[in-house]
Structure 1
């Protein structure tokens, strides 16, 4: 019994370690199509950078070779070209059996192509297939089980959804249709593998939404924006849509990663030349020394080319306008996808803006579990801890991936310790990504962000915040709009202001970094810090705001008259009293 278990474990391990090498395996009868249709199809696949196995030089024999078996197993898709004499080759029939076996055991995708042969001839082994099998039955009369296996394989394959050459004229339309089918099936296969890694959990519904808004069938030129908070998966979503559509639906395509950093480092001129040189497959554009201005010749080429462009992480209108200026020169049907944290970037040029929200609780749990445990559900003794991590991340995929990877293989005690630490000190990898949005604000917007992160809780409406933070000027109203557009806060249907807890932690960290002493920081919200400063009269002119909840205090706060005397820049004081027994807790404010 023990030996059986070990064998099963070994087989499972072998299956999990299996790696694909080819995108497509071509199965065909060489004498029928090697120098015609099979070669045309192979060339078309190769031109689209689809790694395809075609047995150009392998020696043929009575049985399929180990090399071919391995090639089938290492491919994601098999395209089987059933031609007039396909069934006369035992080699082809053995390939077919191996392909269908991989379909059952390894999620292998099979595309039957009926080239000059009716599917019913293949299915029922009539006509030339009937003649071939009469000869095979005579030749293998002592091994009839093999003949039966081949018959069953042909019947099974011909019942799969396939393509019939008589439906496509001229022949290049059949090649194009096969390319399109493979273009959609390859991403589907990749999605299966990516889900094992956790990259695509919760993203399928967004893919469908973006593809719908792109309206590929319409002939205009469209710009679609994907907008959302840092770490929500905008780049991942755009890259998956790009993979699914680029190679077969468009004549030119380019994914320009991290525009914010690239623009800052190299400038608009370099990025525009890079973009157009890729779209037009013309490296001479990159070598131009003068400031780049598209010539009439280049514009004419653009008008003839249907393109797909992704501009990733654009954070200003200046960047976007520099890169899409003259986009109307692109051929009809062209599409541009822009990812950004700033909705204002999109409002002038985008035809549609899609707001990407975080994951729900079920999706969050799946993502965390895959990174932390390598499976879809946590061990029982980790269930509560997993829920605490999910609550902390609040749907942010980046946080779930980073924390899941960090907590992988750690004990429950280490999980508890890590969670306690996160309440005070956020993870640096998460903090660095989210802080980018803060650093893109001007000084006044940064101060408003810190006010909301440190002083305003989720019960405040936008009107409340404007009244309490305005300080007699009109900046707060426009400042709140900017923070909303840059995905740093939300104004929900009840007009309540909401900030993600991870962004709130960003604000807390920035203020805590101002000084080791709480009384020399701009804002105070932690009750221990508040008690420390007020009772010891350690406040300074640096303090601009104080906000805390009395219910979190376990003792009375006693202050002298001078507790606020040095805080002459204090402009905001808010004391919450949630579920508090006023007889037990008192705040002794100075007289006068």
Structure 2
């Protein structure tokens, strides 16, 4: 085991990931678990164990508790040479339950750990490496990149830049954050901030990061604190629904936070990310505000009730209630009436009971994990509810709770039913006519999306990834505003019952894994303009359109032009081959007018690097015809004659 330790923001994770990426090819299996401290609090250790197993074994398992998880790990990887990176470990139990012992794995295995507290590793055979601040020259270069977009500061700011870098103690996070803040400021602002930095203790990272926070507008501060407390790891579009409802203008404010290096949005999945040190700073701000004016208590962070059964994290607008394992708790109206302005409510494993008249009127976001199948409540009317997250709950389509949320009919925009294992059919969705995002990821028993989905005229996104036996309803074609259809890892969704007009609207269509299937995905003939990010591993029965048009799209593609510059000879051969195929299609030489159905069907695959390979599976060409497609480039369908042409 190798442990990288040091201050928060010093660059432990960055260094560990570089080492991890360089070594991965030498191991049979690799796994990287980032932000373990945060994810343990938010998701629990069993969820992290499932991620670890999925990365190492490429197999999904469902775990009840962490003991079951560690037993699985011990019993399945003893002969495997693995590389594991556990990022931001904060206590011994995380290390213990996430396989932090080399004897759980085969000979030659390595475990890399990053932590702020090396004492949690005592009693283990560990090679320690203390990560220290960046040398002055590298720190100045990093600062210049973010302040000026250059490798060296502009002439009037050279000395100021050097002095500011010196005050950061070489902490990359502080360097980047301060540089991003100063990038568009005048020289006098630089001088005043330098004086402020000089007055701060050398190792007081939070105080230095506060310079950027203090310069934010009230709306930006609210979004920043919301992310620090509640939205790390959440889908950006889901959070935007909430902030738009609160009139915070996230489309304007979030990019400002990104430019200031206070938050980040991952491009691959639009998840919100914040550095652990910035997250801690945000939560420290919450705590300090409460301590300074307890009578006005804007926020109380991690305050425990004397009973020890509940963990309450609350303020005038936020309340999180977490039930400890093996406890049964009922929250009544009297518990919540003292919070009339409550906007965010997070509950886990909690029952509710009583008359909720005039309660939760201002509630915008309800996350109710492990919601019970039955509960007794009256007058529950969350008329301003924007997001309802019931993921991981034991509910069914006839759940008693649905009638209580009818009051949110004109406000609800996001419904998340992911991991509701008892759900075999979706509920009556027509009660939420303004719904914009429906999330049904990994619902093990889900086999049917009800026809009521056709009433969701405002639905923009439908996520049905990781479902094993789900069929799509014909009413899907009625969704005029649908732009995102996510089907990844749903191997038995073979037919998309939609028109070509529908396919022209959908801008992101992620594909199911059809590796073992012999049933082709059928796309309608009129679907000629299908903007997509990637369409991978589909078996296609028919793909008719002109190769000339496809060639034009290829030549217009920036990715293809970039590839062709790097591989000029291959690009030349590719162009000749494409021209021959175009002529073959146009003249009809050696291609029957009505070719017999291809068995197995023509296989089309667009890989994540945006290179498209297509060929007949039974008679692949000597070299797959290749061209590039950018995200959102139009995919034009290829003639069935092409498949016949490949049968040479």
Q: Which TM-score applies when normalising by structure 1?
A: 0.34
More strand by share: 2
Q: Which has the larger radius of gyration?
A: 1
Larger RCO, structures 1/2 (Cα 8 Å, 6+ apart): 1
Q: Which TM-score applies when normalising by structure 2?
A: 0.31
More helix by share: 1
